[in-house]
Amino acid sequence: MKQLLRAVKRCSVIAAVALAAVSLQPAGASAAPQPVVGGTRAAQGEFPFMVRLSMGCGGALYAKDIVLTAAHCVNGSGNNTSITATAGVVDLQSSSAIKVKSTKVLQAPGYNGAGKDWALIKLAKPIDLPTLKIATNTAYNNGDFTVAGWGAATEGGSQQRYLLKASVPFVSDAECQAAYGSDLIPGEEICAGLVDTGGVDTCQGDSGGPMFRKDNAGAWIQVGIVSWGQGCARPGYPGVYSEVSTFAAQIASAAATL
């Protein structure tokens, strides 16, 4: 079941559920589209660290020349000039969009489709925009989180022109395991969403994008990376995100090699 669920990560259609959390649609699951409720259009400059990647995923500026995204969005590690990162705008068609090509990709060591869902993309030149710091411990793995992306606004729908945002509450490991059983890897993943009602979540095309909240100083801090889920915004099935704090040291070490 794990490989089935994770085979349809939230890439290429991640969207918006209003960003509705990027839910993965397992093969054979009901394909009935479900609108994501609760998402709204982000204001220009509201989340300046957001990046759209040309393969149909999201990401965030970890450094001015490095994008943090999901491992399932890339194909291995090495030199790679095929990815275009778009930043600086909420409207992907804006003439003000900053577009920079990739030079290298570093996929999480040991990634095999389950857990360890993070990757770094080195850019050909720095993007002069604010970066998003990542959590280095679990202090902020609670409360309400913000998700944002250009993914689908309905399950199976098209990706969006405008950046959408939504708020999703933390879901405990126990409650998330009630939905996904052994498919969930509690030590590497964190869940969020409206379990009882559904309606707000990330979706296909939001993969790799950040889940973040404010820290004690009022600054944004990334606690998750959009990874997978069943459908989009379905009741009983929260979104599953890579737990950034688990991999913070590895991410920092990897970034230093790029």
Q: Which of 65, 117, 183, 206 is catalytic?
A: 117
- 248 and 134 Cβ atoms separated by less than 8 Å: yes
245 is catalytic: no
CA contacts within 13 A on the Cβ side of 83: 30
Task: Give me Rg for the CA atoms of the chain.
Answer: 16
> Is 95 tagged catalytic?
no
Q: Look up 183 and say whether it is catalytic.
A: no
Q: Which residues pair with 50 in a beta bridge?
A: 60
Q: How many CB atoms lie within 10 A of CB 142?
A: 13
Kindly name the residue from 12, 23, 65, 72 that is annotated as catalytic: 72
Q: Which of 246, 88, 235 is CA-nearest to residue 155? A: 235
**Residue 25 contacts residue 202 (beta carbons within 8 Å):** no
Active-site annotation holder among 102, 207, 227, 245: 207
Active site residues: 72, 117, 207
